[in-house]
Structure 1
Amino acid sequence: MASAPQTITRKVYKPSLNVGQLYARAYGSSGLMLPVGNVLELSIDHTEDVMQQPDMTRLGGGTYAEVRRVKQAEIAIKFADFNVLNLARATLSTVAEIDAGTVASQAVTLHKGGLIPLPHIALSSVVLKVGADTIAAAGNYEVRPEGIFVLDTAADIDDGEAGTLSYSYAGQAVLEALTTKAAELQLRFGGLNEADDGKPVIVDVWRASQSVAKTLGLLTGKFGELDVTGTLLADQTRTGAGISRYYRATMV
């Protein structure tokens, strides 16, 4: 039998240790709320403005009156998944989706011991030519994720020689960082309280900005994390007595 509301609100024992999924979509969008992947930490932090009036009526001081107002509520998220959407929002990136394709006879200059950087990754069917001659990869160059690396011991390549390069490449996403404004998101946390028999805890954040990532770790020797924060902004579409414009928690 389901618990009556008055029973839930009077419950005292309620330790909290949550796991769960975080979902997001653009604020004001009617699109799907999509899971963001593994989130290691999620919190809402409140900052107050406190105005105090001293008690001047007697010796010893003290506070005669006080007014507290919430100055700001912030959400802090630590992402574990560097998927395209998370990374784009965290780096203010414009995203281009590039279909798999081919490049034919791209002009390149070959330097021994140097890398030829290319605009595509995950190359296959690579053909390097100097004039009409096809240069074998063995002993001359390596196909790497970051481009074509000409060996400094290349037997069939002269330093500074002109060549042509043909190849196929896989579909890929390209993120041009710091090219767009910060996202405003609607968020929903679907939590399960492991310290309370896995009972659900749902938190809706109606409108939140998202900051750029504090750090984008590329070589750290540990699992990568994306730390972002955001300010909870008033959602003016939510009206009515006792209705929050910022966030709501629901539990059983």
Structure 2
Amino acid sequence: MAVDVIKKIYRPAMTVGQVYAKPYGSAAAPMPVGNVLELGLEHTEDVQRQDDMTQLGGGTHAEVRRVTEVKVNMKIADLNVVNLARASLGTVAAIEAGEVEDEPFVATGLGILLPLLHIDPTAVVVKKGATAGAATPVAMAGNYLVKSEGIVLLDGAPGITVADKLWVSYSYGAYAAIEALTTKTPELQLLFGGLNEADSGKPVVVDIWRASQGITKTLALINKGFGALDVEGTVLQDPTKTGAGVSKYYRTRLA
């Protein structure tokens, strides 16, 4: 019976579970965020106190507490495209696979990188010559390396000299490009489908009706351990939630 759940005293908590998100106000279904290492709500209060001046020693005669802010904090372990875009206020472009013919470069030196327009090139052909039509292929061995980010001209390359005009042709696969700081802070509806490991795996479901998600504090590019996105936002009022005893902010359901 529900009254038994409400009266239950023993309820230690150690929760795991899945976090789902969708744009606030969207008719789309919530989608899993991925592995979230930490998820929490942080409440901030404005406390107004009136001193008790009726006796020696002081004390508090009256007190009013009002919640000024509720923050949501997440440490996201899966750095997928959606999470990266939200955490960097980015716009995503889906780049389809294709081919590039004769992308132009000048060998301003040896031991340098020629950054290509597209990543992870395959079937690379490097030519040199005054024009693309008159250029002839350069052997790869001893002259250059193909890397995900472009072409590295080797020091002492026998087939390439400084100021040579180079022309690079290659194929590339589909990829995503995220242009950071190009959009506003997203507003999300979040749902935590939790399981309490300290209480026989009983479910704990938390609905956060409307929350902003700020930019990640750090985007680690080189690190020894696993990367994660530390993001926080503010739980905002959802005006669509109405009725006596109905929260406009969040709801927790326990079995």
User: How high is the TM-score relative to the length of structure 2?
Assistant: 0.96
SS in 2 for 1:48: strand
Tell me what 2:116 maps to.
Answer: 118
Residues of 1 paired with 2:180 and 2:150: CA distance? 21
Partner SS, residue 167 of structure 1: strand
1:90 aligns with 2:87: yes
CA distance in 1: counterparts of 2:116 and 2:51, whole angstroms: 68
Partners of 2:140 and 2:186 lie apart in 1 by 45
Confirm whether residue 210 of structure 1 aligns to residue 223 of structure 2: no
CA offset digits 1:97-156 (Å, max 9, x no partner): 100001011111123110001121111010111133211111100000111000012111
Residue 142 of structure 1: aligned partner: 145
How big is each residue's C-alpha offset from its partner over 1:26-65, in whole Å with a ceiling of 9 and x where there is no partner? 0000112110110000000000010100011111110000
Residue in 1 aligned with 2:181? 178
- 1:100 paired with 2:97, answer yes
Q: 2:15 aligns with which of 18, 32, 48?
A: 18
Mapped to 2, the partners of 1:106 and 1:58 lie a distance apart of 86
Work out the percentage of aligned pairs sharing the same amino acid. Answer: 55
Structure 2 unaligned regions, length at least 5: 130-134
Runs of 4+ that moved beyond 4 A: none
Q: Give the equivalent residue in structure 2 for 1:77.
A: 74
**In the aligned structure 1, how far is the partner of 2:113 from the partner of 2:76?**
33
State the distance in 1 between where 2:149 and 2:137 align: 22
Which one-letter code corresponds to 1:82 in the other structure? Answer: L
Secondary structure in 1 aligned to 2:38? strand
One-letter amino acid of the counterpart of residue 198, structure 2: A
What is the correspondence of 1:1-252 to structure 2 with a 5 Å cutoff?
A: 4-110=1-107, 111-131=109-129, 132-252=135-255
Equivalent AA in structure 1 for residue 140 of structure 2: A
More deviation, 116-125/84-93: 116-125
CA distance in 1, matches of 2:174, 2:251: 41
Letter in 2 for 1:231: T
- Rounded Cα–Cα distance in structure 1 between residues aligned with 2:148 and 2:85: 21
Give, as a single letter, the amino acid of the residue that structure 2 aligns with 1:107: P
Q: Which amino acid aligns with 1:57?
A: T
Out of 72-81 and 106-115, give the one that drifted further.
106-115
Q: CA separation in 1, counterparts of 2:17 and 2:139? A: 52
Secondary structure in 2 aligned to 1:191? Answer: strand
CA–CA distance in 2 between the matches of 1:122 and 1:107? 18
Q: 1:36 aligns to what SS in structure 2?
A: strand
Aligned to 2:85, what secondary structure does the other structure show? helix
Q: CA RMSD in A?
A: 0.7
Q: Aligned equivalents of 1:187 and 1:119: distance in 2?
A: 37
Give the Cα–Cα distance (whole angstroms) in 2 for the partners of residues 55 and 201 of structure 1: 42
- Matched residue type, 1:108: F
In structure 2, C-alpha distance between the alignment counterparts of 1:98 and 1:38, rounded to whole Å: 26
Give structure 1 stretches of 5+ with no counterpart. none
TM-score of the superposition, structure 1-length normalised? 0.97
The one-character-per-residue Cα deviations of 1:52-92 (angstroms, maximum 9, x if unpaired) are: 00011111110000011111100000000110000000001
